[in-house]
Chains A and B, each alone.
Chain A
Amino acid sequence: DAKTTQPTSMDCAEGRAANLPCNHSTISGNEYVYWYRQIHSQGPQYIIHGLKNNETNEMASLIITEDRKSSTLILPHATLRDTAVYYCIVRVLFSGGYNKLIFGAGTRLAVHP
């Protein structure tokens, strides 16, 4: 089962920041938080990932709370092309480097003019 919960849908005005929350209260100490997005009928696209520290790249920022039980993905200036389903995933690690990516329901973000 997915280890994350996200709001079903969110709206954002074009040009504004989109803040997408994610709860992962059962995350273990060595498990990473990953964010992907999926535009209709395409494969998911990697956005960002982190363990404890906040992360930033050219697409987004990831803010992880100190207790690691939740995180927020920030798209600083949303555009219409950012309309997609956003998935927050805890990467489950097993011994020997074996790992799984389990997708939850995701958040459907609609960016409007």
Chain B
Amino acid sequence: GAVVSQHPSRVICKSGTSVKIECRSLDFQATTMFWYRQFPKQSLMLMATSNEGSKATYEQGVEKDKFLINHASLTLSTLTVTSAHPEDSSFYICSATPRPANTEAFFGQGTRLTVV
């Protein structure tokens, strides 16, 4: 299957700093990219969806000024956690869908963020 690469896989940062996570589709162009976060022993929670040529659409309750998403190109999306706090510590996962929309979405390996 197609490959989605997420970087970094682990990051530790201090409270108040910002962290950027990259998501790349390596062998296809992604019409849609999704960002999720997952707390221990819980399911994935969709944070935002970004479609080609448009700004990200955030799910209810997700602060768009805190979680900045930039779908820079058809192969790259970034999630920046601004002014991180310990409660932002979580597993962040991206996924990407090639054309057409009804093909499978491919997931990155996830980023474990720890804010100290």
Listed in ascending order, the chain A residues whose CB lies under 8 Å from chain B are 32, 34, 36, 38, 41-46, 49, 85, 87, 91, 93, 97-106
Report yes or no: B1 in contact with A43, Cβ–Cβ below 8 A.
no
**In-complex Cβ contact of A42 among B43, B95, B110 (8 A):** B110
Given contacts A41-B112, A42-B109, A43-B109, contact A103 B102 (CB under 8 A): no
Given contacts A32-B102, A46-B105, A49-B104, contact A98 B32 (CB under 8 A): yes
**Which residues of chain B from 11 to 54 have a CB within 8 Å of any chain A CB?**
31-32, 34, 36, 43-46, 49, 51
Tally A-B pairs: CB < 8 A: 63
Listed in ascending order, the chain B residues whose CB lies under 8 Å from chain A are 1, 4, 6, 31-32, 34, 36, 43-46, 49, 51, 91, 93, 95, 97, 100-102, 104-110, 112
How far does the alpha carbon of A86 sit from the alpha carbon of B26 in the complex, in Å?
A: 26
**In-complex Cβ contact of A102 among B4, B46, B110 (8 A):** B46
For A47, the closest partner residue in chain B by CB is B104
Q: Main SS of chain A's interface residues?
A: strand
Report yes or no: A41 in contact with B104, Cβ–Cβ below 8 A.
no
How far does the alpha carbon of A104 sit from the alpha carbon of B44 in the complex, in Å?
A: 8
How far does the alpha carbon of A53 sit from the alpha carbon of B104 in the complex, in Å?
A: 17
Report yes or no: A43 in contact with B101, Cβ–Cβ below 8 A.
no
Identify 4 new A-B residue pairs, CB closer than 8 A, beyond the known A43-B93, A44-B107, A93-B102: A41-B91, A43-B110, A98-B32, A101-B95
Report yes or no: A87 in contact with B31, Cβ–Cβ below 8 A.
no
Residues of B within 8 A of A102 (CB): 46
Residues of B within 8 A of A101 (CB): 34, 46, 95, 105
Residues of A within 8 A of B101 (CB): 93, 97-99
Report yes or no: A105 in contact with B43, Cβ–Cβ below 8 A.
yes
